[in-house]
Structure 1
Amino acid sequence: MTKASMPVGAGGQTPEVPRSVFITGANGFIGKALLKRYKDLGAQVRGMDLFADPANDVVAGDLTQPQAWAEHARGCDLFINTAAVVSLAAPWKLYREVSVQGVRSCLNVAIAGGAKRFVHISSIAALGWTYPDMADESCDVVIGDQYRYGVAKGASEHVVLASHAAGEIDCTVVRPGDVYGPGSRAWLIEPLKMAKAGALILPNGGKGVFTPVYVDDLLDGIMLAAGLDQGRGHIFHLSSASPTTCKAFFANHWRWAGRSGAPRTLPLHLAAALTRLIWRVNGLLKIKSEVTPDTMYMLARTGDISIAKARRLLGYEPKVSLADGLRRSEDWLRLSGQITP
């Protein structure tokens, strides 16, 4: 087994391993991976999530009720907020409570507890779905009454960067691309379920741009952004070196589901109308589903994102190819019984 080590940054510098780390959303896909990586490096790691995990020193809590878990975060050097509404189907009220009020609560806890750095995990969804090709961190964030997840992410970034600008605490914002790998609900588990049901639909012929980043590469980028002085006060895009199409990516799920060819497609306006109808019916029947118009918009993105800033300032360099990442993902899906030989 390879011994865990910190990633090496631009110019050969390596971030110091933080003495103690606190992670919100510590039971989630990214949060759990970060917790394990920092623990393997010898850091003291604690966290909170909706459900406790005593074995990993994770307490039960809610971003909107920080008094229940704030003491558990006291004394941490590094505070990483991965907790979020991981859904494209939530109501505005929930997004506002978690992505704005909840993020401010996290900042308050980190400041009161003496943290030296606050890292907020946002998303490229903050850019919307019609951003220009090779969009960098200076591009506009999305606003409006559609694409709620992206609007909420942009609002959460504002809260964090305002705190940094006010001198309250050193902050860094990370915008991952489409994070996949063993344990990914958004890009492995849920699409596979939809493929098995024959309900995986792609807009615009599947030509939408998909920006995959394997979870191990994302962890490297987060640790560089969190540990290097060059990360203070910045937003960083972290993704792979090159994109693919939604058709190419999700053809794997279609195959894993035992289907031939590729997922069905519809023009975006028809796909959005169909999923809007399904979304409303599911709401009436109280069925939870990620079949929403916003999902169709996300899968219709027309541009890639630039990781040049992260490369230049942090020395970030993705190492896991898409082919290798998909192979590892398929192995995990088979091992966990979600697909059969």
Structure 2
Amino acid sequence: MARAVVTGAGGFIGDAVVHELRRRGDDVVPIDVRRGPGIVMADVTRPGDWEKLLVGADLVVHAAAVGTGGELAAVRAGTPSRPAVVDEGELRRVTVAGTVRVLEACERAGVGRVVHVSCVSVLGSSFPDLVDETAPVTVTGLPRADALAAAEHTAIAAAARGVPVTVLRAGDAYGPRAGRWTLWPLLLLRAGRFVLVDSGRGVLSPVHIDDLVCAVIAVAEAGEAVGEILHVTGGESVSAADFFGRYARMAGVPEPSSVPAAVLRAVDTADRVLTGHGWLSGRVSSRLHPRTHIDLGPLALAELVRTGTYSIAKSRRILGWQPGVSLDEGMARTEVLLRERGLLGVQEPARRG
């Protein structure tokens, strides 16, 4: 029996990893700042007793994050609360400084393997189709993407000094608990506020949570993966119009309308001037009239106007991993679970202000 520690265990990805490791019979210690069944409450950005839990761990999966919309907040009276607006300083403290502290603690504890969960958004929105892991990561101007990129740099630096860490860049992860790519778009579609950008021509790279978890396990077991950056997507590219249109059909609502990207950029820019900040996710303004009618949820505009997808050839070669859940199958699984849990019937997010 292996011993594993998972940070961010209350989130969408962390929770799924915990469940799979336990299904395999591993002894799992889930850590999160939020309360939850069996979760060890700890803030991994600060020194604490949680560091002792890493001693003797065969595997640490670092999935802790903040301000990403990775899971839907608590639903009360049928109304989900909005993702919290996190300032850039807090975003970097958790994403970057937290990663530094976790990796340093792993190094001191002599952890066997570390999987650092990142995201393909570090590459921005403009890159060659089937871009691979050798592509340079540059500043995008998006706080979340740039914080994730900085965290990756700390992971690679740790690998250079001997920490057995692998960076796993997840594609557009969806599933019945996925806030960014499932629940928020679905709820906003039902409210009639979600829109396609530029007719939904942007290219998405979805990966079902089951495939993503399998890739995490494969990374943990592949010695060749140490020190590497690996893309993990479902191996299929799809237009935003096709992807979100599937949710509209699940919910029995009209296909979303389209708004030019230039209009959304202008609205968000105006909001930044008026308020001193915009939503870190790149969403359109909450202060201007269009915001009462259109909403991208926690998704960044840059994520919806990509022109290419990501190569997973390296993951296939090094891990022997292959995505096994097609988009059709993944959406079917997602719909079944959403219906079982009554989430297709959850009322739309409330509008305040």
TM-score, normalised to structure 1's length? 0.86
Letter in 2 for 1:190: W
Counterpart selection for 1:78 from 45, 59, 72: 59
- Aligned mates of 1:109, 1:127 — CA distance in 2: 28
How far has the Cα of 1:256 moved from its partner?
3.2
In structure 1, the partner of 2:80 is: none
SS at match of 1:122: strand
In structure 2, the partner of 1:116 is: 112
Q: What aligned pairs does 1:64-75 form with structure 2 within 5 A after superposition?
A: 64-75=45-56
- RMSD over equivalenced CA pairs, Å: 2.4
Letter in 2 for 1:99: T
C-alpha offsets along residues 261-303 of structure 1, whole Å, 9 cap, x if unaligned?
A: x21112211122234556575389xx9x984797111111110
- Aligned mates of 1:39, 1:293 — CA distance in 2: 30
Counterpart selection for 1:174 from 168, 173, 182: 168
Change over 3 Å in CA distance of 1:275–1:256 after alignment to 2? farther
Letter in 2 for 1:87: T
SS at match of 2:249: helix
SS at match of 1:183: coil
TM-score, normalised to structure 2's length? 0.83
Q: Which consecutive unaligned segments of at least 5 residues does structure 1 have?
A: 1-17
Contact 1:272 1:292 in 2 (8 A): no
Letter in 2 for 1:270: V
In structure 2, the partner of 1:131 is: 127
- Aligned mates of 2:197, 2:249 — CA distance in 1: 19
Counting aligned pairs with the same residue, the percent is 33
- Aligned mates of 2:323, 2:317 — CA distance in 1: 13
Contact 1:46 1:73 in 2 (8 A): no
In structure 1, the partner of 2:179 is: 185
Counterpart selection for 1:244 from 238, 260, 269: 238
In structure 1, the partner of 2:330 is: 325
C-alpha offsets along residues 222-255 of structure 1, whole Å, 9 cap, x if unaligned?
A: 1111211111110000011211111000012223
Q: Structure 1 residue 302 and structure 2 residue 307: aligned?
A: yes
Q: Structure 1 residue 220 and structure 2 residue 203: aligned?
A: no
How far has the Cα of 1:219 moved from its partner?
1.2
In structure 1, the partner of 2:202 is: 208
In structure 2, the partner of 1:33 is: 16
- Aligned mates of 1:318, 1:227 — CA distance in 2: 17
Contact 2:62 2:117 in 1 (8 A): yes
C-alpha offsets along residues 153-201 of structure 1, whole Å, 9 cap, x if unaligned?
A: 110000011011022x111000010111121111111111211221111
Structure 1's consecutive aligned runs of 4 or more residues displaced over 3 angstroms after TM superposition are 275-284, 289-294
Q: Which consecutive unaligned segments of at least 5 residues does structure 2 have?
A: 70-84, 272-277, 280-284, 347-353
In structure 1, the partner of 2:149 is: 154
- Aligned mates of 2:295, 2:111 — CA distance in 1: 36
Counterpart selection for 1:165 from 143, 149, 160: 160
C-alpha offsets along residues 53-79 of structure 1, whole Å, 9 cap, x if unaligned?
A: 3x43x2112232231522233321111
How far has the Cα of 1:336 moved from its partner?
1.5
| Number of positions where the alignment pairs a residue of Structure 1 with one of Structure 2 | 316
In structure 1, the partner of 2:29 is: 46
Q: Structure 1 residue 269 and structure 2 residue 265: aligned?
A: no
Contact 1:268 1:297 in 2 (8 A): no
Letter in 1 for 2:261: L
How far has the Cα of 1:340 moved from its partner?
4.5
- Aligned mates of 2:244, 2:139 — CA distance in 1: 28
Q: Structure 1 residue 339 and structure 2 residue 344: aligned?
A: yes
SS at match of 2:147: helix
Contact 1:81 1:119 in 2 (8 A): yes
Letter in 2 for 1:219: V
C-alpha offsets along residues 106-156 of structure 1, whole Å, 9 cap, x if unaligned?
A: 112212222121110000011111121101001121304x22211111100
Contact 1:129 1:297 in 2 (8 A): yes
Letter in 2 for 1:141: V
Letter in 2 for 1:166: R
